Amino acid sequence: MLGNWLAQIGAVTAMNLRNVGERLGSTLVALVGVAGVVTVVVGVLSINEGFRAVLQGSGADDVAVVLRGGSTDEMTSGFSQAETRVIADAEQIARGSAGPVVSSELYVIIDVPLKSTATPANVPLRGVGQNAVDLRQGFEIVAGRMFTPGTFEIIVGRGAVQQFAGLEVGDTLRAGTTSWLVAGHFRDRGSVAESEIWTDATVLQGAYNRGTSYQSVRARLTGVQALQAFKDTLTADPRLNVRVFTERQYYEEQSRTMTALVGTVGVVIAVLMGLGAVFAAVNTMYSAVSTRAREIATLRALGFGAFPVVVSVLVEATLIGAAGGALGMAIAYFAFNGLQASTLNFSSFSQITFAFTVTPQLALQGLIYALTLGFLGGLLPSLRAARLPIVTGLREL
């Protein structure tokens, strides 16, 4: 019996597909509807993937980030110079020729106009120590030179250069009461550092009247396994009140708010636009069933069962969904993948640059969603086709 059903399904499906040209207009409407939904949904979720890739790809497991106890980010943290020296003395920190590989850092937000709109946006200006470069494994000057310590010079991340105006090498950036000379551009494997502007921490303290305070300390550990001992050493010291993360853990925590927000928006868009695509598919398949009522009734009269008719209509609708999904994925990939943009990092209230990222997993999700839309669009019409009385179908003109 199964073999008979399969033969019937194949025969009816082949007939349906041969007749697609007769209803090409309505078929294209459904296909384009599914493609549009997939394009938009994948485009929105590619923001999530790009943002996550920037933050979670920025961290190292052997670099520790130290914040004041109770702080969730650098903006709410703070250390005195004496406290940063106590942290730097921990025996779990790697030593170089110049001493402990640490960077006590200061973080302020400045206004820089966006290239696209000329409106001001929040951009991080980070004061770093002499070992900051050694703590970022992918750091490289790509234009100009490194800033000179003790001077009002800055270097700018590649992502910030692409998104914000007035940051070319040789330009002067006015921030607060100070004019800063852009000495160079840098990159760091596409990490969050590429959204920042860097200068000498001591100079930044003076420019913003921060005394000798810092907001975070980065330190390279002697190894990944040294983290817990490092954390225990600092939390046991009565002179300190700290939270300790690996750099990777820190950025993962920073990414949660944004990824949750964009993910929720993506789901809402998927549901709303998906309803429209389902209605388009339902309309198309109802039209297909009504125009082939006599054919279906004839097949039933010849001995074809109701189940093969249901399956054949569902197969046609699902194939339309698959074609729409493939088209939508192609559009999304070529339109969005690698597209540079910036958005607000809600953890630091500053702009972060990233690239839209269409991953294979996201492509698979888009295809599954398109197949689901096609299946739902063909479900009710297929049931109608199977339930249509044979006599009624034979009387259709």
**Residue range 2-39, pLDDT digits in tens:** 555 565 556 556 666 556 555 666 677 778 878 888 88
| 183 shares its domain with 290 | no
What pLDDT does residue 50 have? 78
Q: What is the pLDDT of residue 17?
A: 59
Rounded Cα–Cα distance for residues 317 and 376 (Å): 8
Does residue 384 form part of some domain?
yes
Average confidence (pLDDT) over 130-151: 91
Select the more confidently predicted residue: 203 or 6. 203
Predicted local distance difference test score (pLDDT) of residue 47: 78
Tell me the mean pLDDT in the region 307-330. Answer: 80
- 147 versus 373: the higher-pLDDT residue is 147
Within a domain: 51: yes
Q: Are residues 143 and 228 in the same domain?
A: yes
In a domain, 245, yes or no: no
Which of 198, 215, 240 finishes a domain?
A: 240
Residue 248 falls inside a structural domain = no
- Taking residues 344-355, what's their average pLDDT? 64
Residue 1, pLDDT > 90, answer no
Whether 324 maps to a domain, the answer reads: yes
Whether residue 199 is contained in a domain is answered as yes
Find the helix or strand (DSSP H, E) in which 75 lies.
none
The percent of residues above 90 in pLDDT, for the chain, comes to 34
Q: Say yes or no: 304 and 384 in one domain.
A: yes
Q: Are residues 229 and 127 in the same domain?
A: yes
Number of domains in the chain: 2
Whether 278 maps to a domain, the answer reads: yes
Average pLDDT, the chain: 81
Q: d(Cα 397, Cα 381) in Å, to the nearest integer?
A: 19
Number of H helices, E strands in the chain: 12, 14
Q: At what angle do helices 24-56 and 360-387 cross, to 10 degrees?
A: 150
- 223-257, pLDDT tens digit by residue? 989 999 999 999 999 999 999 999 888 887 777 76
Q: Are residues 24 and 118 in the same domain?
A: no
Which of 206, 240, 274 terminates a domain? The answer is 240
* Residue 229 and residue 102 share a domain: yes
Q: Which of 240, 273, 293 is the last residue of a domain?
A: 240
Highest mean pLDDT among 1-5, 161-165, 174-178, 312-316: 161-165
pLDDT higher than threshold 80 for residue 108: yes
Greatest Cα pair distance in the chain: 94
Which pLDDT score is estimated for 397? 46
With CA atoms as reference, report the closest residue to 38 among 261, 341, 264, 276: 276
pLDDT surpassing 90 at residue 78: yes
pLDDT of 66 higher than 60: yes
Q: What pLDDT score does 254 carry?
A: 74
Residues 77 and 42 in one domain: no
Q: Is the pLDDT of residue 59 over 90?
A: no
Give yes or no: residues 141 and 284 share one domain: no
Task: Give me the percent of the chain exceeding a pLDDT of 70.
Answer: 76
CA of 117: how far to CAs of 147, 161, 374, in Å? Answer: 29, 15, 40
Predicted confidence (pLDDT) at residue 91 exceeds the cutoff of 90: yes
One domain, residues 215 and 270: no
Domain that holds residue 296: 2-56+256-395
Question: HSE-up of 141 (CA within 13 Å, CB side)?
Answer: 14
Which pLDDT value is given to residue 347?
61
DSSP string, 222-235: S-GGGHHHHHHHHH
Same domain assignment for residues 234 and 261: no
With respect to residue 105, please indicate whether it lies within any of the assigned structural domains: yes
Taking Cα atoms as reference points, which of 343, 350, 346, 332 lies closest to residue 46? 332
Report which of 187, 184, 220, 215 is spatially closest to residue 201, judged by C-alpha positions.
215
For residues 182 and 152, is the Cβ–Cβ distance under 8 A?
A: no
- The answer to whether residues 269 and 360 belong to one domain is yes
2 three-state secondary structure: helix
Residues 270 and 205 in one domain: no
Position 391 scores a pLDDT of: 58
Residue of higher predicted confidence among 40 and 285: 40
pLDDT band with cut points at 50, 70 and 90 for residue 362: confident
Looking at per-residue confidence, does 384 or 20 come out higher?
384
pLDDT at position 394 is 53
